[in-house]
């Protein structure tokens, strides 16, 4: 019988083999463009976001430029991402807040980020982790599914799964693990099927 932590180490090793050098799949050049891209990715694929952001960032790739736009202009560009009216309003509003309150910079602070329009805990976690290298473990639908499928957590909420994963894995590895689990879920382990790691976990059913 193995412990949950031992199972986690096996999974972590397999993820590292599958994706040794994971990169953020969203096109961006700085914390601001990453923030906008992650906001757009809500209920939308990263691939589709990457088709939309070049035109958006050509028009405005800084808080100062975006703050000058009418939300209707932004809405037309980001329409393929879905929820375009709400997302456009959030993008313009948060840009104006960044200009007015943060010297046109994305704050390196969870509370400040989560107070911005359209920015939830997951979005803030991605920005803190990938833009500022502050330890965080954003949990999206892929990670939520895999954590439960691999018996790393039995929780029924994203918040609880995040807490469980943070207890299991070393803080220094959270950023890479987040990316690796997302990439693994998309590539090998979709909702209706599973591949290598699931087979390994099936052989490790008994967990203390």
Please list the residues that pair with 141 across neighbouring strands: none
Q: Residues 109, 140, 151, 166: which is the catalytic one? A: 140
More confident residue, 208 or 76: 76
Please list the residues that pair with 207 across neighbouring strands: 2
Active site residue 140: yes
Active site residue 122: yes
pLDDT value, residue 186 = 86
Whole-angstrom CA distances from 96 to 42, 70, 101, 136 are 21, 11, 8, 26
What's the rounded Cα separation, in Å, for the pair 182 and 179?
Answer: 5
pLDDT range class, residue 40, cuts 50, 70, 90: very high
Give the residue among 87, 17, 80, 3 at the shortest CA–CA distance from 46: 80
**pLDDT, mean over the chain:** 90
pLDDT value, residue 149 = 87
What pLDDT, in 10s, does the model give residues 96-124? Answer: 999 999 999 999 999 999 999 999 999 99
Q: Residues 61, 87, 122, 164: which is the catalytic one? A: 122
Mean pLDDT throughout 122-137?
94
Percent of the chain scored above 90 by pLDDT? 76
pLDDT value, residue 61 = 95
């Amino acid at each position: 019988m193995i412990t949950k932590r031992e199972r986690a180490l096996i999974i972590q090793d397999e993820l590292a083999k599958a994706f040794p050098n994971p990169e953020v799949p969203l096109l961006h050049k700085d914390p601001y463009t990453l923030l906008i891209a992650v906001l757009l990715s809500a209920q939308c694929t990263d691939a589709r976001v990457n088709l939309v952001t070049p035109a958006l960032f050509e028009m405005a790739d800084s808080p100062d430029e975006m703050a000058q736009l009418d939300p209707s202009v932004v809405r037309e560009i980001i329409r393929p991402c879905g929820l375009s009216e709400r997302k456009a309003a959030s993008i313009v509003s948060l840009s104006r807040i960044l200009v007015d309150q943060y010297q046109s910079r994305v704050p390196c602070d969870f509370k400040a980020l989560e107070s911005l329009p359209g920015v939830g805990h997951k979005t803030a976690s991605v920005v803190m982790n990938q833009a500022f290298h502050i330890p965080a473990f954003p949990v999206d639908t892929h990670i939520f599914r895999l954590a439960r499928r691999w018996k790393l957590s039995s929780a029924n909420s994203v918040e609880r799964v995040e807490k469980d994963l943070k207890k299991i894995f070393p803080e220094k590895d959270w950023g890479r693990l987040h990316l690796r689990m997302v990439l693994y879920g998309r590539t090998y382990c979709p909702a209706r099927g599973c591949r290598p790691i699931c087979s390994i976990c099936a052989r490790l059913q008994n967990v203390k």
